[in-house]
Amino acid sequence: MRPLGFLAAVWIFLAGFQVETVAQNAPPSPAPAKPGANPEQERMKSDAENAYQNGEFPKAIELTTKVLAQNPKDHVALYLRASSRVELGQMRRDLKDVRGGIEDAREAMRHGGTDQINYYLPYFYGMTTLAQMENRKEHADVVVTFGSQILARTNIKPEDRANLLYQRAAAYLFQRNVESASKDYEAAIKLVPTHVGARLGLADCYIQLKNLEQAETAFNAAAEAVPNNPLVFNNRGMFFQQQGKTQKAIADFSRAIELDADYAVAYTNRGFASMAEGNLVAAENDFSAALKIDPSQPLVYSLRGTARLSQGNAKAAMEDYAQVLSADGKNPIAHVDLGFAKYFSGDFAGAAASFEQAITLEANLRYVLPWRYWALVKAGQGGVATTKLGDALTKPADKKDWADHLLVFLAGKSTEQEVINAADNKEETLKQAQLCEAFYFSGEKRTVAADMGGATQYYQQAIATKQSHLSAYRGSQFALRQFPASK
């Protein structure tokens, strides 16, 4: 999807979903060339604006830098570079780019005049971004104070005022002043009913205020006001998904894709929703579509790997998890995911090595400990496995956590019934998750003992818990070679 000029800058990842937020309004077109203006510089500024609108921020920065090397006071070039630097800095979480954009915006105002309201936008957006990245309230305070002073002027055009209100609202949100933010969004909408950022910002305010009915009303109003904007449908779809209205969510993501066939975010979100519905083939196809548009998305490789693994395709899943690790070799969860895929493919030594790497990177991944132990046992490395038990066998009963109970059982120091009885009895969801793992590992031990009848019963009990998000559930499917048909 093409950026809307500070109206599609940031992707926030929540439980696998990608929500696009909005930033500032599109920069103005370069001013008509004045008599005697350098035609080559004017062409580069025009090309820079087009690059910006297409999300090609490095190209826009390169072009405007060339212009500024010849004319350091060209305020249009300064503004375009400011906008691109802040956008790029926000995307990359790069403080240097954000600060550079802020400085360019200041220079644009100095040389172009303080009456150029648009020139304040990358400055305000940059300061709020700086507040978020550095967690420093004083940056947002500058936006609120300075923005209020400008808004006090009486000669501001409605569109410019709406954009200023939108920027001040973002700063209010950082200050956790949701009420003031919502008032600014409402005022911006009144001035410019098609202001996408203000409409989506207002919906987000209602979500933060836990007024979900008004949030849905705000999303619906946004869809009516700007019915051809895919961003609106993507974000409303995310809202519906969070409310458990998966079919409505899928319909909105589909509408976003109809409006923009290259909208990678919407493909990813629809794929995640399809996984929640059990439609694994559709999910995999959507993740593949998102990756075709933008191959540099480790999260989407991870999601597609999970969709493939859930269909019994461990080999393809391993390829996806390897892609994640190629982007970030120190990602412990990616090592865990690769370990499970190796385990289910029968590469137990490889699985143990991946689990070991994950635990080395993040020692608190205790849920991996039983899997590492059992992978070593199945790889014929029982002696090594014993060295990985730690103090699980010697801890007092009241000090053992669930990983300890599983390790004790796998080491042969407790019975099937004892590990089943150790499952939490206070919280039903946790109990079912622990029972799923207890049943699975009981099935694994029966398999090693060549009691396939008993193993099958335990694998079936693990699946009966319906804890489909657990690797123990997935492992039971692999053991039985029973994978759900896609809906």
Question: Can you give the pLDDT at residue 425?
Answer: 84
Instruction: Answer whether 219's CB lies under 8 Å from 249's CB.
Output: no
Please, which residues have CB within 8 angstroms of residue 461's CB and are 6 or more apart in sequence?
Answer: 435, 439
Contact indicator for 385, 376 with CB cutoff of 8 Å: yes
Q: Which of 399, 369, 400 is nearest to 387 (CA)?
A: 369
Q: Distance between CA atoms of 333 and 330, rounded to whole angstroms?
A: 9
- Say if residue 445's pLDDT is above 80: yes
Global pTM reads 0.86
Least confident range from 91-95, 98-102, 370-374: namely: 91-95
Q: Tokens standing for 6?
A: 């500070």
- Integer Cα distance of 143 and 140 in angstroms: 5
Neighbours of 367 (CB within 10 A): 15
- At residue 21, the pLDDT reads 53
The candidate with the shortest Cα–Cα distance to 237, out of 196, 265, 213, is 265
Residues in the chain, total: 487
User: 3-class SS at 253?
Assistant: helix
High-pLDDT (> 90) share of the chain, %: 87
**Is 196 within 8 Å of 229 (Cβ atoms)?**
yes
- State pLDDT tens for residues 158-187: 999 999 999 999 999 999 999 999 999 999
* H or E segment and range at residue 93: none
CA angle 291–16–51, rounded 5-degree value = 45
pLDDT at 34: 62
- For range 393-405, the mean pLDDT: 93
Does pLDDT of 8 surpass 60? no
pLDDT at 144 over 80: yes
Ramachandran sector of residue 277 (left: φ over 0; alpha: ψ -120 to 50; beta: rest)? alpha
Nearest alpha-carbon partner for 437 in 478, 389, 400, 403: 403
Number of CB atoms found within 10 A of residue 31's CB = 12
CA gyration radius, the chain: 27
Q: In whole angstroms, give the CA distance from residue 383 to residue 387.
A: 7
Per-residue pLDDT band for 38 (boundaries 50, 70, 90) equals confident
Q: What are the structural domains of the chain?
A: 1-113 (1.25.40.10), 136-226 (1.25.40.10)
